[in-house]
Chains A and B, each alone.
Chain A
Amino acid sequence: MTSSETVPTPPEIPSAPASEAAGPSGTFTGFQASRYRRVLLLLSAMMVVASLLGFLVNGRDPQIRAPLQAGLDFRGGTSIQMELACHDPGPCTTSERLRLPVLRSVLADVQLEPAGDQQPAPALSSFNVQLLDDGEGILLRSTALTIAQAQAIEDHLATAESLPPFQREHTQVDTIGPSLGAQLLRSALRALGVAFLGVAVYIAFRFSPLNAALALGALVHDVVIVAGLFAWLGQVWDVQVGSLFAVALLTLAGYSVNDTVVVFDRIRETDRLQPQLGVIARIDHSIAASLVRSLNTSITTELPILALAVFSGGELRWFAVALAFGIAVGTYSSLFVAPLLLGLLKKDTA
């Protein structure tokens, strides 16, 4: 059986010949990732720069003033989502669909009771109104409303004569107080920090501090690029990030490190079994050996996530998008960024 891929010599059979692909001079003749090191690392650097640019653009945007556009969960506020009766099973005819000017004029007529002595009702002109599904639904976002205020708006829209009938059992109302929002943001950031630290400690324990630093570096690389994508999505499509986005990043953290660890594990094994190869060749060999597995695993993980993206809506769909993109980036960084940097650094220290 001839194959360009190499096989580690099994330890149980010390007399077995060294793999064909490993040349006598300590080179490795399979797919050599190190040859493309410059291009691959440059690609990563460019994606990171693009992401940082996205944070900067958002930070300078007077509407956002943060690297990412914080959603309801983190900022506090109310969102009211309603669907037209014709949406289910749909689709609505053109005349039935909602139009923004009509909607705004209906909303201008709503009057809200103040929440208390010191809290006047928010002005309806400050509401963010979005049409969903080509005008078959509506999403209102505002500062936090009281139950009575949110119900007044819902009732007003549902009974307005100039609007088509809504399906009220499909209404979703969410209110997060500003104090709870700040608390959720804190706990999400803390969870991210603790997870990163925990993973780093585990890898430092199982491998070496250098491996831990690189796995963490690859992880930060992935998280920054996914956050960068959402920074730009926030700029272009007003996509907001909430608790679910933090969950996506954390899952990604687990996944990306998992993937990196598998490659590191392979490098460790190659180090042990084929010490005759040079550092770079051993790493190239391990990358090539992990390639098929990593791609297959990514695809099997991406498939259910894509199903989730297709079948779900709203926030959950963006969650699936973040995961799908993140897993692609994570697979790339586990195969190419972390091991190639490991090769560079190991050679320097050797």
Chain B
Amino acid sequence: MVRQGWLPVILAMVLAAAVLLGNQSLQLGLDLRGGHQLSARVLSPEPQVVLTAADLDGVKSVIQRRIDGLGLAQTRIQTVGSDRVVVQLPTVQPTPGEDAEAEATVDDTLQQAANQITKKAVLQFGVLRSSEVDRYTTLVQERRNAQVAVLLGEQQLEQLQRSRGDGEQRRAVRETLGASRTTLDQLEQDIGQLFDLRPLTGDDLVQAVAEPNLESQGEYYQLSLTFSAAGGQAFADLTKEVAADANLRLAILLDGHAISEPTVGPEFRENGITGGGARITGTFTLEEARELEVQLRGGSLPYETEIVEQRSVGATLGSDNVRRSLSAALVGLALVSGLMVLIYRLPGLVAVAALAIYALFNLAIYALVPVVLTLPGIAGLILSFGMAVDANVLIFERIREELRSGRKLYQAVETGFSRAFSSILDGSVTTLISCLALGYLGSGLVRGFAITLGIGVSLSLFTSLVCSRTLLKTSLFLYPALRRLKYFQPVQ
């Protein structure tokens, strides 16, 4: 009649959970370990086109390659919902003494990552239309003026900032600079329009490397491209076509902007430039060249993206959050345990043991699934402590009622458990319905909470119905001294 069969099972599970937790660490979310999170929304080219999961995965893998290309450790990239890609970058815990330096690199990382996520980086090659040669010359002159204006503006602004100059003047310079940048951007696109595209794109690349441009004495950087076999052939054809006419030019376009428009010397009239390689020169700084290198290596993004969410949590703020939520969990656990023993005595003590097993199993499941723990997730866990003992409260109240109506102890325990079952089940199912709705429809933070609460409620069914029952009955069976009414209810 004593269901002792469960006891070894429970003990084995406790042991397994403890071993599992000893070998596998819990995964902490951004808010607990510190770091940056960027969410990008992938925009479909036309409103009526719906992105498929495969489209989204395509974007994710390009972003993955690019973020990996930045050489950051422990990044995490996932798709969320139907149109979002989330990138997490943990901060490196700064060692004391080099705080300022570490912080600076972190800030750069965030902006670099954002550029990698949003820049399509479609590389194209085109040939100048012979009818547009004059227009090209005009636009190039305008572009040169705009470049100079931007350069001057930047220098002016830097000077004003260094001398902490007057705010009004800075604002004016900043506005002019902004206007020059817009003009330059527009001109680069206008120039790109003068070229007819040829069947050679970034997809034909096998390698892209940023390196110093020797002709500029290392002031600027260039990109060396290596084409695939087919790409090399296309490039040879292209250069052959351009070499045929001294007025013609070849343009390298990035996202529709002309970034370099070289001529091709007459010596290539016969075969074009063969060898499967090319260089993009221009006025790249080291950072710009590196960025482009990573983008070209990662491949171009098939869709436009925009950053819709950025969350940054300081590194020590994260560990602070861990400390505080741990304190809350432990204090919560202690308070509940104390109250249970105070009110329910021996069964209360059993409920506390069941609660400890419950907490252990919860953590083991987090490690096993794995569940990424976040702050709302821990809140869900803490809340579920209360709900886990709820089942025990129902059962113990029932046992007391049975005792009051004159039942024998053993019978009262048995009836208490079986009578409370239907309320416990109904209560758990209604909570689980809420969790399912939250987990299915909710976003990041919300889902974390729903998952931990849902796991908790399901587990509490097991710990309260099976563990408490087995422990209580086993202790009564093994220790006859415990079979006294005063251990179950206040003496009247």
Residues of A within 8 A of B (CB): 1, 3, 5, 7, 10, 16, 88, 109, 111, 113-114, 117, 147-148, 150-151, 155, 167-177, 179-180, 183-184, 187-188, 190-192, 194-195, 198-199, 202-203, 206, 243-244, 246-247, 250-251, 253-255, 257-259, 261-262, 265-266, 289, 292-293, 296-297, 299-308, 310-313, 316, 319-320, 323
Contacts and interface: CB of A to CB of B under 8 A. Distances in A.
Nearest to B331: A307
A316 to B, nearest CB: 6
Contacts of B99: 168-169
Given A151-B107, A176-B309, A304-B335, A206 B382 contact: no
Nearest to A242: B445
* Chain A binding surface, main DSSP class: helix
Contact of B443 (A187, A303, A313): A187
B170 A177 contact: no
Interface string B297-331: 00000000011111111111100100011011101
B423 interface: yes
A141 to B, nearest CB: 15
B317 A172 contact: yes
Query: Which 4 residue pairs of A and B lie closest in terms of their CB atoms, listed nearest first?
Result: A304-B332, A301-B386, A254-B434, A177-B308
Nearest to A190: B441
Contacts of A111: 167, 170-171, 174
A303 B387 CA distance: 11
15 contacts: A1-B404, A10-B402, A151-B110, A177-B307, A184-B443, A191-B446, A206-B426, A251-B453, A261-B430, A300-B393, A301-B387, A304-B328, A308-B382, A319-B379, A323-B383
B23 interface: no
Nearest to A192: B437
Contact of B431 (A254, A296, A306, A319): A254
A154 to B, nearest CB: 8
B251 interface: no
Given A244-B445, A292-B397, A305-B383, A299 B311 contact: no
A206 B428 CA distance: 13
A261 B427 contact: yes
Given A303-B339, A320-B379, A114 B307 contact: no
Contact of B441 (A117, A169, A194): A194
Contacts of B317: 169-172
B205 interface: no
Interface string B430-455: 11111111101111011001100100
A327 to B, nearest CB: 8
Nearest to B94: A169
Interface in B159-173: 167, 170-171
A72 B114 CA distance: 21
Nearest to B427: A258
Given A175-B309, A300-B340, 17 more contacts: A168-B314, A169-B34, A177-B307, A187-B441, A195-B437, A202-B429, A243-B445, A262-B427, A265-B426, A297-B386, A297-B389, A297-B390, A301-B387, A303-B339, A305-B386, A312-B375, A316-B379
Nearest to A189: B441
Nearest to A118: B182
Nearest to B316: A169
Nearest to A198: B433
Contact of A258 (B327, B383, B431): B431
A170 B436 contact: no
A285 to B, nearest CB: 12
Given A180-B39, A305-B382, A262 B335 contact: no
B75 interface: no
Contacts of B111: 147-148, 151
A261 B430 CA distance: 9
B394 A293 contact: yes
B437 A303 contact: no
B384 to A, nearest CB: 9
A54 B128 CA distance: 67
B254 to A, nearest CB: 18
Contacts of B182: 117
Contacts of A289: 401
Contacts of A313: 324
Nearest to A78: B310
A266 B450 CA distance: 29
A85 B256 CA distance: 47
B126 interface: no
Interface string B328-346: 1101110110011001000
A140 B339 CA distance: 42
B405 interface: yes
B415 interface: yes
Contact of B308 (A180, A244, A247, A261): A180
A300 B426 contact: no
A304 B308 CA distance: 35
A177 B325 contact: no
B106 to A, nearest CB: 9
B103 interface: yes
Contacts of A312: 324-325, 328, 375, 379
